[in-house]
Amino acid sequence: MKEPGTTPEGVEVKGLRRITAEEERLRRQKIELLRRELAKHRQAARQIEHQLRALGDAEATRAAGWINWQAVYDDLPPRFSSREVADIAGVRPAHVASVLHAWKTQGKVATTGVRGQYKKVMRRNAGGGK
């Protein structure tokens, strides 16, 4: 493998290492910038899909496919309603009920005593397990 700062023939070129390092730094910056931009566009696309599903657009419902429920959970405030979950996820209440039941079983949420109202459960020992 050839050394950075040399030509394929192995001749040392003054300043080539600096240029190569600068190119690598710029490449990493470009990757970081493109990842941020992609995340923004994905979020915008998710919001549009959610709005279309909420309006009952059949094509959006078929095309939506898989929902990242962890991302939905992360977007929720500490106290929330099942309607808020449905609005964020863009699904029907029956689907939300099954997801909330699973979250309760997993210990992620608890009921507040008011119908349809929940709160996130903060775990003390999140990393450790048996």
In a domain, residue 109? The reply is yes
Task: Say whether both 80 and 129 belong to one domain.
Answer: yes
The number of distinct structural domains making up the chain is 2
Q: Are residues 96 and 106 in the same domain?
A: yes
- Give the integer Cα–Cα distance in Å for 42 and 30: 18
Report the alpha-carbon distance of residue 73 to residue 50 in Å, rounded.
Answer: 15
pLDDT tens digit sequence for 62-115: 655 677 788 888 888 999 999 888 887 777 888 899 999 999 999 999 999 888
Give the structural domain span for 115.
Answer: 67-130
Alpha helices in 1-130 (DSSP H): 16-54, 58-64, 69-75, 82-89, 93-106
In terms of pLDDT, which residue wins out, 8 or 120?
A: 120
